Structure 1
Amino acid sequence: MIPTDMSPMDREVPKSPPTTKYDSDYLEEKDAGFEVSAPGSFLSEPHKSYLIQRHGTLDLDPIPSMDPADPYNWASWKKIANLSLVAFHACMGTFTAAAIICAYEDIAEELEVSIQRVSYLTSLQIAILGGAPLFWKPLSHRFGRRPIFLLSLLLSCICNIGCAKSTDYASMAACRALVAFFISPAMAIGSGVVTETFFKHERARYMGVWTLMVTLGVPVGPFIFGFVAQRVGYRWIYWTLAITNAVEFILYIFFGPETRYIGADVQSRSSALKTEYMSIRRIDPTPFKFREFWHPLTLFTNIPVLLAAVAYSMVFLFCSVLNSVEVPQLLQSKFELNAQQLGLQFLGLIIGSLLGEQLGGYMSDLWMNTRARKIGRKPAPEYRLWLSYIGFLLSIAGMVVFLVCTEQASTGKWDVRPIVGTGVAAFGNQVVTTVLTTYAVDTYPQDAGSVGVFINFVRSTWGFIGPFWFTSMFESVGIAASSGVAAALIMGAGFLPMALMHWQGQKWYSKSD
């Protein structure tokens, strides 16, 4: 029988031969040379019967308990509905930050500040989105994911109303900062929710849903709100965000059950329903420790997670942040676009991200599962990295096309080639995003929530710094030549470190265990 006080994070691969064995440990023990029996032989007969009835197989990793409240035992529709809400919530972080990009000129004119200063309203949110989850993660660990998400949506709604009512730059910046702080939890905790809900063989596919929504928030925001700013004014951007927060709050009450499962005696369906939806209380009595609020940053010493985070963040900086925040400066004046036309320039990023997720998510799982069937055991996490090289190369190619073609385009005459470039770069970015995030979680599964917070911190830090030097780079070396800078940094801080990780990664994290 599975010990009932184990959290989902604890039900991952053990660091040493356990005294009580589970099916999920079978392959690891076999690889380590231990004498093992066939999968499922260490479960009680009632437990086996429960799993067969619920899942149709004993080949599960990790092994669920016999409790209906255990998220691994939920019906597929319930898991997907919950993930959809969490992923959309995560999307709202970057979506909100990028929402005003198409309205920079309108905001600058009304508040009587420069466009460069207005762009800081986006940079400010990016910075806070990176640091705020350090505060939310320990709270979600003690009180559960559901209360934190509900609180996040309610307070974000209130602060977005404050943005809509702001009459000067300072008050709008303050409200934007508060929105970023309150909307941020799902951007980092989402990786923990995926790990707490889905089995390992399907994790990349659903991790990809979460990462895709975070990525899509950047281009979809200005794409949609370009129409809003052009037709009814930019303040309706904030009203729409507030309404969206309120609607998701209501949906989450009914379709967002608690995924933080500590373990309990086997429950009935009625008590499981109460635990998942109606219980707002502290579910983990462990006392708070101050170090928990900065614990994810200790992953700077975890080489596989660090390199994956840095490599992904460098691609994200150019293929997502530069391709969105700098579009008004690069394309709006060049092609003489209004807010609505400017929003349409983000269509390439949206299409590229959607297509890239097919390779980074679904095909990534298929890639790993096919290899597992061929060799008769689970392949090392490094095998997934083969797909990341495609992403790095397409990211570089897309940035070269975007920047070179932007400089070559005739002033006042719209050219589709830069948009094609952003689409190619977005495809590569999404492949790198999903593959490296899944790889980082696979190498450190015992604390997937901290991995998500850490990656989000590194990504957002890079994203915050970038807009401060992008303009200087364009002025110093030129728009086309800047593609060489992007290519060099992606290759040097992304492609080459991942090649090294592919070669030595298993040794590094094996030693750390």
Structure 2
Amino acid sequence: MESGRKAGIGRLVGCALKNRRPVFLVSLVCSLVGNVGCAVSPSYGTMGLCRAITAFFISPASAIGSAVVAETFFKKERARYMGVWTTMVTLGVPMAPFIFGFVAVRVGYRWIFSQTNGVQLLLYFLVGRETLYLRRAAAAASLRPLAFVARPCVLLPAVGYAMVFLWANIMMSVETGQLFPENFGLNPQQVGLQNISIIVGSLLGEQIGGFLSDWWMWRRHAKVGSSSDGQGADKAARSPQPEFRLWLGYPGHLLTICGVVVYFVQIERAGTFWNITPDVGMAIAAGGNQIVTTVMTTYAVDCYREDAAGVGVFFNFVRQTWGFIGPFWFPDPIQRTGFRASAGIAAAMIVAVSMVPTAVVQWRRSRWRQD
């Protein structure tokens, strides 16, 4: 499904650079058709094909969401509403098993398909509006998304965010579904309830990643603005650089590491009897992940405001690539090295691939943005 989503992102971004609303509507209609196909599939192969179709057509929502936010809100409130969007992206993973665990236990797994797409289509048709009002010249000048691989102030935050998302969201969602039934004997509904911790943690983390991030930049702007002579050019030059926002990413990294360690260690301590302590680790990691998600995404959009759609596509391409690969190798280190060593591996990867690159971006500052 992830590979199909990446392909869908690449094909549809060109149309998305010109119009938003038609792309969203076509996306929802076609993904709804794919999900209906999943519900009536007679074989595993047929369902795999329908899932690929769904993944291809559902991609625009994650690809151009950042552009919609950038087009709709002013810079002073961008992090707050970018955080709302990124929170919804994050919550999609835990909300699905939380809600449809009840459905799978009571009426069967086939009923979990298509309902959500149907509601989305109805709501977006009734209240969704076009948000792209940029000049044609600006839209035509947009970069191809993969060109951001040569832009370190987008590449490094995207890679760092993807690593945090991998451990705090993908790993926990996948391994909870595998470890909790095996270790604690939980059924799908009970496993789905564990995702409440990710939902709560993400919502709490967003208060720092969104609201506090905007306040952080506003406070800096007020400080440097008051020290200028009041002239427009000087005041603009003394405005806080986008890299100042990245200071709020470090608490997110540390919370993610703390949460992953608690999750693994407490699963090992629990043995064969379930308790809530691993869920506490999930909530802590989810809060850290949401802080990093909002801060990194908003920073990259601040650097390339006119190419917000391309930034969103690139961020999701990197995240989906990491997310697709991760579940293939997660079980092996856990089985070979144990839970505590796996926690150490996760901490080392987050520090090396997320925290250190963030520090490098801050060190280089505007020199990369001017290249």
Q: TM-score, normalised by structure 2?
A: 0.93
State yes or no: 1:317 paired with 2:166: yes
Offset, 1:179: 0.5
Instruction: Measure, in 1, the Cα distance between the counterparts of 2:122 and 2:183.
Output: 43
Instruction: Measure, in 2, the Cα distance between the counterparts of 1:387 and 1:131.
Output: 33
What residue number does 1:126 align with? 2
Instruction: Measure, in 1, the Cα distance between the counterparts of 2:355 and 2:5.
Output: 26
Say whether the 8 Å CA contact 1:191–1:448 is kept in structure 2.
Answer: yes
Offset, 1:288: 9.4
What residue number does 1:250 align with? 122
Counterpart amino acid of residue 128 in structure 2: G
What residue number does 2:24 align with? 149
For residues 174 and 475 of structure 1, do their structure 2 counterparts lie closer, same or farther at Cα, with a shift above 3 Å needed? Answer: same
Matches for 1:368-407 after TM superposition, within 5 Å: 368-376=217-225, 377-407=238-268
Say whether the 8 Å CA contact 2:138–2:306 is kept in structure 1.
Answer: no
State yes or no: 1:140 paired with 2:16: yes
Q: 2:74 aligns with which of 193, 196, 199?
A: 199
For residues 428 and 408 of structure 1, do their structure 2 counterparts lie closer, same or farther at Cα, with a shift above 3 Å needed? Answer: same
List runs of 5+ in structure 2 lacking aligned partners: 226-237
Instruction: Measure, in 2, the Cα distance between the counterparts of 1:439 and 1:262.
Output: 21
Instruction: Measure, in 1, the Cα distance between the counterparts of 2:293 and 2:6.
Output: 16
Q: TM-score, normalised by structure 1?
A: 0.68
Q: 1:354 aligns with which of 203, 217, 220?
A: 203
Say whether the 8 Å CA contact 1:130–1:458 is kept in structure 2.
Answer: no
Offset, 1:136: 1.1
Q: 2:179 aligns with which of 327, 330, 342?
A: 330
Offset, 1:126: 2.6
What residue number does 1:485 align with? 345
Instruction: Measure, in 1, the Cα distance between the counterparts of 2:188 and 2:40.
Output: 21
What residue number does 1:188 align with? 63
Offset, 1:438: 0.3
The count of aligned residue pairs is 359
Q: 1:308 aligns with which of 146, 153, 157?
A: 157
- Note the alpha carbon deviations across 1:49-79, whole angstroms, 9 max, x for none: xxxxxxxxxxxxxxxxxxxxxxxxxxxxxxx
Counterpart amino acid of residue 483 in structure 1: A
RMSD: 1.8
Counterpart amino acid of residue 397 in structure 1: C
Instruction: Measure, in 2, the Cα distance between the counterparts of 1:286 and 1:365.
Output: 26
For residues 287 and 184 of structure 1, do their structure 2 counterparts lie closer, same or farther at Cα, with a shift above 3 Å needed? Answer: closer
State yes or no: 1:211 paired with 2:60: no
The farther-off stretch of 462-471 and 330-339 is: 330-339
Say whether the 8 Å CA contact 2:263–2:278 is kept in structure 1.
Answer: yes
Percent of aligned pairs sharing the same letter: 53
List runs of 5+ in structure 1 lacking aligned partners: 1-124, 264-283
The farther-off stretch of 377-386 and 430-439 is: 377-386
Counterpart amino acid of residue 183 in structure 2: K
Instruction: Measure, in 1, the Cα distance between the counterparts of 2:154 and 2:313.
Output: 11
- Note the alpha carbon deviations across 1:1-45, whole angstroms, 9 max, x for none: xxxxxxxxxxxxxxxxxxxxxxxxxxxxxxxxxxxxxxxxxxxxx
Offset, 1:446: 2.3
Instruction: Measure, in 1, the Cα distance between the counterparts of 2:363 and 2:4.
Output: 35
Instruction: Measure, in 2, the Cα distance between the counterparts of 1:405 and 1:257.
Output: 47
- Note the alpha carbon deviations across 1:400-432, whole angstroms, 9 max, x for none: 000111112121x11111110010000000000
More helix as a share of residues: 2
State yes or no: 1:162 paired with 2:162: no
Matches for 1:46-195 after TM superposition, within 5 Å: 125-142=1-18, 144-195=19-70
Instruction: Measure, in 2, the Cα distance between the counterparts of 1:126 and 1:444.
Output: 26
Counterpart amino acid of residue 368 in structure 2: W
Counterpart amino acid of residue 309 in structure 2: G
Instruction: Measure, in 1, the Cα distance between the counterparts of 2:274 and 2:210.
Output: 34
Aligned partner of residue 415 in structure 1, secondary structure: coil
Q: 1:461 aligns with which of 321, 327, 345?
A: 321
Matches for 1:423-442 after TM superposition, within 5 Å: 423-442=283-302
Aligned partner of residue 132 in structure 2, secondary structure: coil
Q: Which is higher, the Rg of structure 1 or of structure 2?
A: 1
State yes or no: 1:342 paired with 2:202: no
Q: After the TM superposition, which segments of 4 or more aligned residues of structure 1 sit over 3 Å from their partners?
A: 284-289
Say whether the 8 Å CA contact 1:127–1:463 is kept in structure 2.
Answer: no
Instruction: Measure, in 2, the Cα distance between the counterparts of 1:403 and 1:441.
Output: 34
Instruction: Measure, in 2, the Cα distance between the counterparts of 1:507 and 1:489.
Output: 27
Offset, 1:285: 10
